[in-house]
Amino acid sequence: MENYLVYKDQIEGFREVGETVKTVEKIAASSIGRLRQERANINAYQVNIGRALARLSLFHEIEKPSKVTGVSAIIVLTSDKGLTGGLWRRTIDEFLQTARENYEVVIIVGTRGDKYLKEEALSATKSFESDIDALHYVTEGFRTKRFARVDILYPKFISLAEHRPTIVPFLPFSFDQTTLRSIESGVEFGSPIIEPMHARSQIYERLLHKYSDAFFRAVAAEGKLSEFSARTVSMEHASAKTEELIRGLILGYRTERRRSLTQKQLESFIAHKIV
């Protein structure tokens, strides 16, 4: 078989790869807008709950929680999927360099983070496929005083091309009353009507739980936003590299084809001369 046909097969193979890369890129890019809207919706929801908490704290003295005992824990948000340009590797590296010695319990979300941690001869205390499962686990652990503190490590979204591994405190959740007590336009609202009066602490605790839950979901959504934006950029680079390889193969194909045709013409001319 002529050498140029090998080039032809390689070109077809890389074109199929290129189509797959473009499909993955389109899927990732289409998810970015949805995740941005999801993050905005969660933030708006959190602000509204915060205002309700602020009103309660203005007119009711909230009982301070008792001292929490237990160990410190960290949730490391990764994913089950790759093609993110080393995003999860950088996240685990941040944990190893700055946070490894500060936590007795390490909770990994996503198999990628678990894999990279095992490559360092370490293992997570607990692994989850879903961030919501991890949320339920740590909130229950904090409620039963197994955990004294829970932080979250996630890739913070800076731009499509920049994602910074960041650690944020999560539990015990700190409600910023000072900021939220600044009622809009300086007008103070009246005291909320709550009957019976002893229910106010229960309502406050429920709202605070929803507020902290929204905080976690916003962090998780931002982590997903970083994941899909990193995958989009990574696939853009892969697509450009594939096109470059295809152009090189096409050049080689044409060169080899011309050489093969020239060789056949020479052989035909020599045979004709002999006859």
* Cis before 172 (ω within 30): yes
Report d(CA 141, CA 75) in Å as an integer. 13
DSSP state of 182: S
Between 66 and 247, residue with greater pLDDT: 247
Of the pLDDT bands very low, low, confident and very high (cuts 50, 70, 90), residue 100 is confident
Report d(CA 167, CA 75) in Å as an integer. 9
* Cis before 165 (ω within 30): no
Report d(CA 226, CA 158) in Å as an integer. 8
Q: Among the CATH numbers 3.30.2130.30, 3.40.1380.10, 3.40.50.300, 3.50.50.60, which is that of 28-231?
A: 3.40.1380.10
Report d(CA 152, CA 24) in Å as an integer. 28
Q: What is the pTM of this model?
A: 0.75
Identify the pLDDT of residue 67.
61
Burial of 250 (0-12, 13-18, 19+ CB in 10 A): middle
Parallel, antiparallel, or unpaired: how do β-strands 147-159 and 162-171 relate?
Answer: antiparallel
pLDDT by residue (tens digit) across 42-58?
988 888 887 777 777 66
Name the token pair of 138. Answer: 């740590």
Q: 3-class DSSP state for residue 252?
A: helix
Identify the pLDDT of residue 185.
44
Cα 87 to chain centroid distance, Å, stands at 8
- Backbone phi and psi for residue 81, each to the nearest 5 degrees, phi listed first: -115, 150
The CA dihedral of 45, 49, 50, 56, to the nearest 10 degrees, is 170
Domain boundaries, the chain: 3-21+234-274, 28-231
Strand order in the sheet with 105-109: 126-128, 105-109, 71-77, 147-159, 162-171
Predicted confidence (pLDDT) at residue 78 exceeds the cutoff of 90: yes
Predicted confidence (pLDDT) at residue 95 exceeds the cutoff of 50: yes
Report d(CA 86, CA 234) in Å as an integer. 9
